[in-house]
Structure 1
């Protein structure tokens, strides 16, 4: 038996004029297809040629034949400065200006915590009536 929505009530009611399902599905035999073979690291998928990889020191941007642009000398000096193994944390490796900024930041954090403690204390303890 098939059902449909009633026009008046909007509920499911038995249908008298539907003798076949709305969307008949006939079983179809499965088609056996071979799955496509997966190809890894082939020249078909890569735009980089083998002779472009043999450029020596110049590294290529991944997926292209273009080399990385040369670094500015200032950037190279900063990289050397920050990569030195001198037992300093990275936020102090920039020199004296970084030390000043670090100490100023820590002082402001301590003042902020003290302000929060003062605000909580002043709201928690009532003022004495004189």
Structure 2
């Protein structure tokens, strides 16, 4: 099937009549268009006023807005402290006994899967007698 440029839309469309493959339609070069200039206004780049800043220092803003992040609740702060404590326990086991059970179950399933792959490769490699 042959294609040609539509004079109406300027896009490639199916040819309405058969064209000879020896004489294809010449493509039209695209015109260069300058990219739009980015303009920054001072309203979008303004910072939080001193009255809304917390006592600990200036607060970070939600990206793209002039709104500061809300304060972190006490329960989240306790969780952060528990997971960031230096006690030589991997982070995937710091959640409690359920994390240990899930970790061991995952490792057991990985070993069973590797044994299954090994068995499959062995059964295909060694002919049956």
> Could you state the TM-score of these two structures normalised by the residue count of structure 2?
0.57
Q: 1:74 to 1:88 in 2, by over 3 A?
A: same
In structure 2, runs of 5+ residues without a counterpart are: 1-21, 25-41
Does residue 1:126 correspond to 2:91, yes or no? Answer: no
Mapping of residues 102-121 of structure 1, within 5 Å: 102-121=103-122
Q: Deviation of residue 92 (structure 1)?
A: 0.8
| Alpha-carbon distance in 2 for matches of 1:126, 1:51 | 80
Q: Provide structure 1 residue ranges, at least 5 long, that are not aligned to the other structure.
A: 1-8, 12-42
Once the 2 structures are TM-superposed, how far is the Cα of residue 48 of structure 1 from its aligned partner?
Answer: 0.9
Is the 1:47–1:65 Cα contact (8 Å) retained in structure 2?
A: yes
RMSD of the alignment, in Å?
3.0
Name segments (4+ residues, structure 1) moved above 3 Å.
52-55, 62-65
Q: TM-score normalised to the size of structure 1?
A: 0.56
Q: How big is each residue's C-alpha offset from its partner over 1:26-79, in whole Å with a ceiling of 9 and x where there is no partner?
A: xxxxxxxxxxxxxxxxx6762115525753236231564432112233322211
Q: Which residue of 2 aligns with 1:59?
A: 59
